[in-house]
Amino acid sequence: MDILLCGGFLGSGKTTLINKLLRGMTAQGLTVAVVENEAGQEGVDAALVAAGGIRVTPLFGGCVCCQISGELLSAVQRIEEELSPDWVVVEMSGLALMDGIRDTFRRYGRPGLALHTLSVADMARWPKLLRAMEPVVRRQLAGADIVAVNKVDLVSADPTALDQMAALAPGAVLVPISAAGAEPERVWADLRAALSRREGAGV
């Protein structure tokens, strides 16, 4: 069972990307379970994902990187025991910090867990987000194996922005994408290729 932690700033397109990814993965015959962490008490993202026929374990009312990290670990363990899917996709809240959750899994998760981290960057708001929210953006990209440079249908991924993202996520594979417009099979193929490149780099 592989785990994909999917993080990124509020509104960066995580849910849209995950929905496409899930459809692409299941079209290839893979079994997938999803853990949805939303900061609010009421779920919007979980409903969107569940509408696609995917089993969703919701974690509301707190952020998995600090407030409810124990619940996240328990949820993943339960999923592994009960379902043993090929993949567990964890959509982190837009307030979560990637490095914190990754470290939690490494410290308290089952030894040998195959953990992958994907951070979604919002190209449409990138310069303003980086200027105003740099400390958060930095921590949300740090430790990412893959950075999905999203919304390139709205704003092209320019070299300056890509250099900035690469500097914040050293060693990450950057994948320009339009989650809203991409075909599900393409999203999964791009992610799979990016994971292979990461593994090939020996990271």
SS3 assignment, position 88: strand
Query: How far apart, in Å, are the Cα atoms of 60 and each of 20, 44, 123, 179?
Result: 22, 10, 27, 24
Work out which of 29, 42, 81, 200 binds another protein, going by CB under 8 A. Answer: 42
Q: Which is nearer to another protein, 130 or 195 (CB)?
A: 130
Give me the least distance between CB of 186 and another protein, in Å please.
Answer: 19
How far from the centroid of its chain's Cα atoms is residue 5's Cα? Answer: 5
Tokens 């009312």: give the residue.
Answer: 61
> What residues contact residue 188 under an 8 Å CB cut-off, 6+ apart?
21, 24, 25, 27, 28
Does position 41 interact with another protein (CB under 8 A)? The reply is: yes
**Near another protein by CB under 8 A, which window of 46-54, 71-79, 82-90, 191-199?**
46-54
* Interaction pattern, residues 116-145, with another protein; x per rule: CB under 8 A: ------x-xx--xx--xx-xx-xx------
Q: Which is nearer to another protein, 49 or 175 (CB)?
A: 49
**How far is the C-alpha of 10 from the C-alpha of 150, rounded, in Å?**
13
Give me the least distance between CB of 184 and another protein, in Å please.
Answer: 15
